Amino acid sequence: MPLDVYLNVAVGGVLTGLVYGLMALGLSVIFGVVRVVNFAHGEMMTIAMYIAVVLFSALHVDPLVLLVPIAAVLFAFGYVLQAALINPFVRRPEHTQFLLLVALALIISNALLIVFGPDARAVQTSYALDSMQFGPVIVDTAKVYAGAAAIIVTAALFGFFRFTLVGKAIRACADNYTGALVVGLDVKRLYALTFGLGTACVGAAGTMAVLIIDTTPMLGPGYTLLAFVIVITGGLGSMPGALVGGVLIGVTEAIAGLLFTPSAKSMFAFGILVLVLLFRPQGLLGRRAA
C-alpha cells in the first residue's frame, strides 16, 4: 500500500487517539486523586454520546457546540456519584468500591439498551463526509475538529490544575491526604469535585466521539478497558502520559486496522498492555512505583 495511505491513517489515528486520551485523562484524574478505579468510565462516555445524539436530532445543533453543557451534566453526575455513593465507602476494602462501579456500569449499559434499543445511531453533521487536506495528508474533517477540541479541553484542564487555587488544592489532596486535612482542605468536597472533573472530561470526549463513531449502548466496557490500557501505558499519575498513551493506542489501532482485519485491532491494545506490564510497569511517563 502506498505510503501516503499509511500517513493518512496514522494522522487519523492520532486525532482519534487525542479523543481517547481525553477520555483516559478523566480516568487518570479520578484515580490519581480519589484513588477510585472508575469501572463505569466507558459507560459514562456512552451516556454523553447518547445525550449528544438525542440533542442533535432534536435541536440540530452541532455536538461541539453542546460540549460545555454535556460536560456540565456529566460533571454533576460524577460529583453526586462520588458524594453520595463512593465517599461513604472510603473505608471499605478496595474491591468493594470497584464492584460498586461494576454494578453501576451494568445498570447503565443495559438501561441505555432498554431506552434506545440496540441499533447504532450516527450524528450526521454537515461536514460528516468532508475531508481536509494538509500538504500530503488527507484526513476526515470530523476527526480534525474532534482532535482540535480534545487539545483545547486538555489544555484547559492542565491550566486549571496548574493555575487555579482549587486545582492546586486537588493536587495537594492527591499528594498527601492527611496533610491536606491538616491544612484544612475539605477533602470530601474536593474528591467529589475531582470525580466530577473526571466525568466532565469523559463527557467532553463523548461529545467529540459521536463525530467519529456510531453510538450503540454496549460501547461502555470496550471504552473502559481502553481507558485503562491507555492510563497504564501512559503511566499512572501522569496526565501527559494519558494523552501520549491515547495517541499511541489510537495510531496503533488505526495502522493495525489497516494491516489486519479491523475487528482485530483492539487485540493490539491488549498486546501493548501486556508489553508495558512486562517491561515498564510504571508506564511510559509514570513515576516509579513507591
Partner 1 sequence: MIGRFTAGVAPRGALLLALLFAALAAAPWFVNDYLLTVLIIILYFAYAGQAWNIMMGFAGQLSLGHALYVGLGSYVAATLFVRYGVGPWFGFLAAIPVAAACGGAIGYLAFRFGVAGVYFAILTIAFAEFARIGFDHFDFVNGTSGLFLPVSEHARTDLWRLRGSPTMFYYVILAATVAAFALCHLLMRSRIGYFWLAIREDEEAARAAGIDTFRYKMIAVMVSAAVTSFAGVFYAFFYNNLFPEQVFGISRSIEIILGPIIGGIGTLFGPILGAFVITGLAETLTSLMSAYGIDLPGAKQVFDGVCLLIVIVALPEGVWPPLARRLGVMKEPK
| Nearest-angstrom CA–CA distance, 124 and 119 | 16
| Nearest-angstrom CA–CA distance, 286 and 282 | 5
Which residues, other chains included, contact 163 with Cβ-Cβ below 8 Å and sequence gap of 6+? none
| C-beta closer to partner 1: residue 92 or 168 | 92
As measured in angstroms, the least distance from the Cβ of 101 to partner 1 is 10
| C-beta closer to partner 1: residue 165 or 289 | 289
As measured in angstroms, the least distance from the Cβ of 152 to partner 1 is 30
As measured in angstroms, the least distance from the Cβ of 102 to partner 1 is 7
Which residues, other chains included, contact 212 with Cβ-Cβ below 8 Å and sequence gap of 6+? 16, 19, 140, 142, 143, 146
Cα separations (Å) of 152 from 18, 109, 201, 208, 265?
11, 29, 12, 12, 28
As measured in angstroms, the least distance from the Cβ of 37 to partner 1 is 4
| Nearest-angstrom CA–CA distance, 181 and 199 | 24
| C-beta closer to partner 1: residue 59 or 264 | 264
112 within 8 A of 47, measured Cβ to Cβ:
yes
| C-beta closer to partner 1: residue 5 or 264 | 264
As measured in angstroms, the least distance from the Cβ of 123 to partner 1 is 23
| C-beta closer to partner 1: residue 221 or 240 | 221
* Of 220, 218, 206, nearest in space to 48 by CA: 206
| C-beta closer to partner 1: residue 166 or 277 | 277
Q: What are 192's three cell numbers?
A: 467529589
- Sites of contact with partner 1 (CB under 8 A): 37, 85, 92, 94-96, 98-100, 102-107, 109-111, 113-114, 118, 217, 221, 225, 228-229, 232, 261, 263-264, 266-267, 270, 273-274, 277-278, 281, 289
As measured in angstroms, the least distance from the Cβ of 110 to partner 1 is 4
